[in-house]
Amino acid sequence: MAVLAIRTPEDGLLGALAPLGLAAAAGTALVVDLDPHGPRYPGEGSLAHLVADGPRRSDLTPLRTGLAVLRNGGVEPGPAREVVDALAEGWPVVVVRLPARDRARADVVVHPLVVGGLFPPSPGAVFQDLGFRVTAPGPVLPPLSRTTAAALLAGTVPRRSRWVRAWKAIGEPAWA
């Protein structure tokens, strides 16, 4: 079991996609959104439902290989801690999406790579290439294609995506 916390403080769309890319690169993984104001990821259940009703046995382990996403549903991170801990026990990889402004220590912080150093790097910084010719002080993800973004937001993992493959190098040390 590996748990990775990810935060994207400057970009909402990248904040919705980055956890999906990181989890998709793991093979079988669960994304848990700790942001009560986060994206409305597709799917039946929510973290708020699991906090209110308690997780079922079927929630605690993967029923199939691939990517699973648990949208937030309006619950704050504090009350969700026990549920997240229980999920982490049974899933091979859990990617926890932190709120953008959360100051909790994230394992991975994703910044857009722009000219002028507008976004100072932080520990665990990864940079998203936006087409500027800029040197980054950390790993750089290749440009994100519309096809990859649309597939991930629709709940599917694209078969051949340089962007998803690049996430493997970011997460693999924690998964090993």
CA distance 42 to 128: 24
Residue 60's SS3 state is: coil
Residue 27, domain member (yes or no): yes
CB 164 within 8 A of CB 26: no
How would you list the strands of the sheet with 140-141, edge to edge? 67-70, 29-33, 93-97, 2-7, 108-113, 125-129, 140-141
Residues 6+ apart with CB under 8 A from 129: 113, 140, 141, 142, 143
In the chain, the number of structural domains is 1
Range of the domain at 160: 2-107+149-168
CA distance 174 to 172: 5
Residue 144, domain member (yes or no): no
Residue 141, domain member (yes or no): no
Residue 114, domain member (yes or no): no
Residue 38, domain member (yes or no): yes
Residue 24's SS3 state is: helix
The CATH number assigned to the domain holding 163 equals: 3.40.50.300
151-171 pLDDT, tens digit per residue, is 999 989 998 999 999 999 998
pLDDT 10s per residue in the chain (176 long)?
Answer: 799 999 999 999 999 999 999 999 999 999 999 999 999 998 889 999 999 999 999 999 999 999 999 999 999 999 999 999 999 999 999 999 999 888 778 999 999 998 877 777 788 899 999 988 888 888 999 999 999 999 999 989 998 999 999 999 998 887 76
pLDDT reported for residue 109: 94
Residue 154, domain member (yes or no): yes
**φ, ψ of residue 86 in degrees (nearest 5):** -65, -40
Residue 59, domain member (yes or no): yes
Residue 123, domain member (yes or no): no
